Structure 1
Amino acid sequence: MALHQLADQIVRAAVVEDRSFGDLLPQLMEASQTASPTEMNAAMPRLADGIAEAPPNLGGWLAIVTGAWIENGADAETAAGRAVVERITEVTSGALAFANAWEEATGGKPPDMQDEQPSQQAVDTVAPKLGDGTVGAIMAWFALPQYVMAGSTVLQNAPSIRAGLTDRDSRALTAGQAVQYLGQMDHYHALLRVLDGERLLVLDRASRKGWTVAIGGIGDNFQLHVLLAGALIGRPGGLTGDRPAPEILACFLNADVPPGPPVVSSPWNLVDAHGEWIWNEGVPADIPLVNGTRVVVIDPPSYERTFPAGRRFPMMAASIRVEAAYLPEDLDNWWAHIPPAKR
């Protein structure tokens, strides 16, 4: 049977909660092992229907299939990828409702969503609080790991979906509340905060020069730190110093990290427009906006920092581009509001 036909059958079963779903799922997974990306792409719209409409416990398996297809070459920027991301916030909210009801009823932690299964005890515990929403909340609780795993794959591979997210802050808030129950959610929460097509104003305190730099797909400030060095050191009108080697920069852009991995030395300190350190463990979205612009100030390093090469999210390709360069006299209005370097 063709892959798109299997996908149609399993979605029909999932939406009406037909018992045949359990038999069709291994068939779909087996067929997926030899399917081409073209075949998977052709079946993706049907999976999108199931992810959006099926109960969470069955839709979660369709989300897992979508993630696996993406990792095997299917296009992440499809209706199925979008459906996964759109469904996650709803499922997370249901899972949080279950957790809150359980904690209110018992004073203890809810069942482990990865190691335990739905039970009559769970129903009896939360039903007085959740009423008609009991079954949906329980299904959401135990299905959340599947959605988060698939959603992390989608967001790493689909810059247009990341960039097109609406209510990003609300989504991130909901995901952040679930981190305490599911460690994987920390990765998904961070991916929701990835900036794409974001323009930074980068100011060098020593030379008083500056640049507008557009970034995308950067998972943390370790990555930002190194990519800024690659973009600004050694370019005409740029900064002097030791530019990271091309093979090192590739590890922070889109290449696999060689065994080891190589160790990178940081060329400077980064601070924001208020003089506060931009911590490497943070993300570019943490850099505060000043009149709608995130400002990065380059200072000499106060001590030697070293860290391993690589990206926090290995499947997510990053980009950085210098769009404009400014002379010191162009930046007088900015420097007037930048506090002196901390000693």
Structure 2
Amino acid sequence: MFEQTCADLTRAAIEQDQAAFGGLLQAVQGAAGTVPQAELTAGARQLAQGIERASLDQAAWLAVMSGALVENGADAQAPGVAVIGRLPDVTTGALAFADAWEKAGRGEPPDPERHEPSREIWEAVRPALGEGAGPAMEAWWSLPRFGMAAFTVLTFSPLVRASVPDRESLAAVVDRAAGHCEQLSWVGDLLRILEGERLLVLDRASGRGWTVVISGIGDNFQLHTLLAGELIRPGGLPGEPPDARWVASSRDQDVPPGTPPVVGRWNLVDANGEWIWNEGVPADIPQVGGTRVVVLDPPAYQRSWNPGRRFPMVPASVSIEAAYGPADLHDWWQRIKPATARPAS
């Protein structure tokens, strides 16, 4: 029953059957909190077809509804791939609208949450956009709803995060559009989260190294903490192991009351000797021959930061896949530059 209602809603969206669309949308919304997870997933798959095929305006409503189903327990993969698949058109169209509005000398663009599309708005942007004025307006008014949906599916699904094509280009466009839409504020950062990514971690003092696999890490504070949890242990690197609460809250647990600040164990640098900022993300770390390289150096000064995750709903992991002695890494060490005395500006 629920799956059929979602299929009917999708059909109404694709066929632009406005008379049926509103009532069906309310029916799906009203039932979302009462049906089993399997039915929610089946319904979300139906909505995904509409997100892919309907006009942006109708697809945006389906995207929001699919996000609600995901929050209630539906698998996020099918609707998530559909939402992220439309995101380039939505963001580039919305940016085109904003640029045209600026060229028209109209000041701040109309708030899509407070204003309706109008003939006056269309006439303001048409000189710059021509026949593209209508699609750009549709993208502009769809942007907040797609922003909410994108945040939800990227938060709940590592498979969606892993499947994003050309993530840096999309994240860059999303970051620009976020200047006009607060619902996109965190979407660019979520797009940059790496899933199942292999890093080569090298310890300069001992010459040892490890291939580690990372997933769900929101920033390099979290990466630093989890690396310490994996590497500073018997048989690993010497030193005081990090507080277990730091590691657990960087993985998937809440931060217990009274947990002290995390204390950094190293200075992280890349293969070129440039500092890896804790405020950055693993996706920023440059690749050498297709591999991101992290070099562990003694700390230049004591660093501390708050425990926990940038995205509390996103669990993270670092696991050791292989360990190497200095002799195994001879060729790699020939390619690694000394650390710079000061961080790159």
TM-score, normalising length from structure 1?
0.92
2:49 aligned partner: 49
CA distance in 2 between counterparts of 1:260 and 1:4 reads 47
| Change beyond 3 A, Cα 1:153–1:308 | same
CA distance in 2 between counterparts of 1:160 and 1:230 reads 25
Q: How far did 1:215 drift?
A: 1.0
CA distance in 2 between counterparts of 1:53 and 1:32 reads 22
Contact residue 198 and residue 214 of structure 1 kept, 8 A? yes
| Change beyond 3 A, Cα 1:83–1:33 | same
Higher mean alpha-carbon deviation, 193-202 vs 180-189, is at 180-189
| Amino acid in structure 2 at the alignment position of 1:24 | L
Q: How far did 1:260 drift?
A: 6.4
- Aligned pair 1:227/2:226, yes or no? yes
Higher mean alpha-carbon deviation, 333-342 vs 307-316, is at 333-342
Q: How far did 1:267 drift?
A: 1.4
Deviations 1:296-320 (A, max 9, x none): 1111222222212221122222121
Contact residue 92 and residue 175 of structure 1 kept, 8 A? yes
Deviations 1:1-28 (A, max 9, x none): x322321222222223313322332222
Contact residue 198 and residue 216 of structure 1 kept, 8 A? yes
Higher mean alpha-carbon deviation, 281-290 vs 166-175, is at 166-175
TM-score, normalising length from structure 2?
0.91
% identical equivalent positions: 51
* Unaligned segments of structure 2, at least 5 residues: none
Higher mean alpha-carbon deviation, 256-265 vs 307-316, is at 256-265
CA distance in 2 between counterparts of 1:293 and 1:167 reads 17
- The DSSP-based 3-state class of the residue aligned with 2:104 is helix
1:304 aligned partner: 302
- Aligned pair 1:158/2:152, yes or no? no
Contact residue 261 and residue 308 of structure 1 kept, 8 A? no
CA distance in 1 between counterparts of 2:19 and 2:224 reads 52
CA distance in 2 between counterparts of 1:147 and 1:333 reads 47
| Change beyond 3 A, Cα 1:36–1:168 | same
CA distance in 1 between counterparts of 2:268 and 2:7 reads 52
2:237 aligned partner: 239
CA distance in 1 between counterparts of 2:91 and 2:41 reads 27
Deviations 1:206-249 (A, max 9, x none): 2221111111121111111111011101042x112222333332
Higher mean alpha-carbon deviation, 117-126 vs 137-146, is at 117-126
Q: How far did 1:190 drift?
A: 1.7
| Change beyond 3 A, Cα 1:243–1:119 | farther
Q: How far did 1:41 drift?
A: 0.9
Contact residue 261 and residue 305 of structure 2 kept, 8 A? yes
Deviations 1:56-102 (A, max 9, x none): 2221121111112212211112x222111111111112111211211
2:193 aligned partner: 194
Q: How far did 1:262 drift?
A: 5.1
* Unaligned segments of structure 1, at least 5 residues: none
Contact residue 7 and residue 46 of structure 2 kept, 8 A? yes
RMSD across aligned C-alpha pairs, in angstroms? 2.0
CA distance in 1 between counterparts of 2:56 and 2:71 reads 22
Contact residue 76 and residue 157 of structure 1 kept, 8 A? yes
1:110 aligned partner: 109
- The DSSP-based 3-state class of the residue aligned with 1:20 is helix
| Change beyond 3 A, Cα 1:295–1:100 | same
2:329 aligned partner: 331
Contact residue 44 and residue 69 of structure 2 kept, 8 A? no
Q: How far did 1:261 drift?
A: 6.5
